[in-house]
Structure 1
Amino acid sequence: MSINDFYTILILAPHTDDGEFGCGGSISKWVNEGKEVYYVAFSSAEKSVPKEMPKDILKKEVQEATKILGIKKSNLILFNYPVREFPEHRQEILEDMIRLGNELRPQLVLLPSSTDTHQDHQTISQEGFRAFKKISMIGYEMPYNNLNFSTNLFIALEERYLHQKIEALKCYKSQADRIYATEDFVRSLARVRGTQIGIEYAEVFEVIRWVIK
């Protein structure tokens, strides 16, 4: 079974923008191919918003960003778990994931890698595995958080998909001061990953579980 055989794909983002950073190009590609992509963000990180900006700005920014990637408005799901406190809410998060699994019936789940060191990302990765352990899962790359990373799976990106990823990330004006939020960084990382497999651009993933039926 190849990744092309999956139709319903679920993106688990600890915070708004994590999905775009980790797999925005692949999301754009899959939506263009007609796949049903759901995006779930577990926090809008209100405590991390710059003081001069509205507290709910990340909710608005993720709506704009996912629209650029082609995700249906009805396929964007937002929770309000407090940023940096996910470990204290493990059971609630797990129950939300199990409910989503029953409702959406995804065939492929994307989540933070198993070596992501951010406490919220670790929680989503670990509880995501528990909730979706019977189906295929891949972990997306966030090099500024990863202790190490297994480059098991590469997804080739055309320029148009990388461009949409970059345009989606530009929606996050509240995060523009982060060094990894620049177009240069995003494009350079995609070029490095593409070079590893002899093409121009790619995103890379850790294979956490691959189920062949």
Structure 2
Amino acid sequence: MDKNRILVLSPHTDDGELGCGATLNKFINEGKEVIYVAFSTCEESVPEGFPRNILSIEVKKATNELGIKEENLIIKNYPVRHFPQYRQPILEDLVKLNRELKPDLVFVPSSFDIHQDHKTIYEEAIRAFKKTSILGYEFMWNNFSFSSALFSVVNEENILAKIRAMDKYESQSHRFYAREKLIKGLATYRGLQISEEYAEAFEVIRWILR
């Protein structure tokens, strides 16, 4: 694959890990550069008993489990569930990232995702990165349907790295989607579709071969 610099756009901390964590670990193991941008640390949604900045701490631990370098983690602080009100600043951030990083591949929430923050990142990203290959990652609980046009074959090591990354989000352990059983189950299902043990599926939004 001719994509060596990979940018992950994660509306909230943990979205990138859930959507494409095993594939990111695979790419890093292959020597590719991965840059991860979290647009919100969801301080308004932090459970009682945790410090408000807990997700800033946890995302550093989680991305480290995937192999992402500390200097390649960018954390922003847009208010959770209010991204539509910040379209222009978000777009300006994305245009700046494109200009400075010049990524070969960008991972974004898919066009099927109905969450308002995820939808905003998707819509502004395809404007900012329209000359770049873009893949949409999968959130079963946010999708009425999904176009699984591209499959990334991953192995047990990649899946375990994804699970370890999600385990770092102790403040989110009550979320059903963070459970090991679901993570492995989806990877097994997607693998079954292509006669592999494990896979992650993606929507092809734009694919450019150079």
* TM-score for both structures, normalised by structure 2: 0.99
Once the two structures are superposed, what CA deviation does each residue of 1:46-71 show, in whole Å capped at 9, x if it has no partner? 01110211100000000000001000
Q: Is the 8 A contact 2:2 2:209 kept in 1?
A: no
Match of 1:67 in 2: 64
Report % sequence identity.
Answer: 55
Secondary structure of the structure 1 residue equivalent to 2:141: coil
Say which of 106, 120, 123 aligns to 1:123: 120
Match of 1:105 in 2: 102
* Matching of residue 175 in structure 1 with residue 168 in structure 2: no
RMSD of aligned residue pairs (Cα, Å): 0.5
Match of 2:194 in 1: 197
In structure 2, C-alpha distance between the alignment counterparts of 1:154 and 1:82, rounded to whole Å: 32
* Matching of residue 80 in structure 1 with residue 55 in structure 2: no
Match of 1:24 in 2: 21
In structure 2, C-alpha distance between the alignment counterparts of 1:93 and 1:22, rounded to whole Å: 20
Please report how far the alpha carbon of residue 212 of structure 1 lies from its aligned counterpart in structure 2 after TM superposition: 2.1
Please report how far the alpha carbon of residue 39 of structure 1 lies from its aligned counterpart in structure 2 after TM superposition: 0.1
Match of 1:143 in 2: 140
Once the two structures are superposed, what CA deviation does each residue of 1:63-109 show, in whole Å capped at 9, x if it has no partner? 00000100010000000000000000000000000001111110100
Please report how far the alpha carbon of residue 147 of structure 1 lies from its aligned counterpart in structure 2 after TM superposition: 2.1
In structure 1, C-alpha distance between the alignment counterparts of 2:93 and 2:30, rounded to whole Å: 28
* Matching of residue 46 in structure 1 with residue 34 in structure 2: no
Q: Which aligned segments of 4 or more residues in structure 1 are displaced greater than 6 angstroms?
A: none
Whichever residue aligns with residue 20 of structure 1, its letter is E
In structure 2, C-alpha distance between the alignment counterparts of 1:102 and 1:146, rounded to whole Å: 31
Match of 1:55 in 2: 52
Structure 1 unpaired stretches of 5+: none
Match of 2:111 in 1: 114
In structure 2, C-alpha distance between the alignment counterparts of 1:30 and 1:212, rounded to whole Å: 18
Q: How many residues align?
A: 210
In structure 2, C-alpha distance between the alignment counterparts of 1:62 and 1:205, rounded to whole Å: 23
Structure 2 unpaired stretches of 5+: none
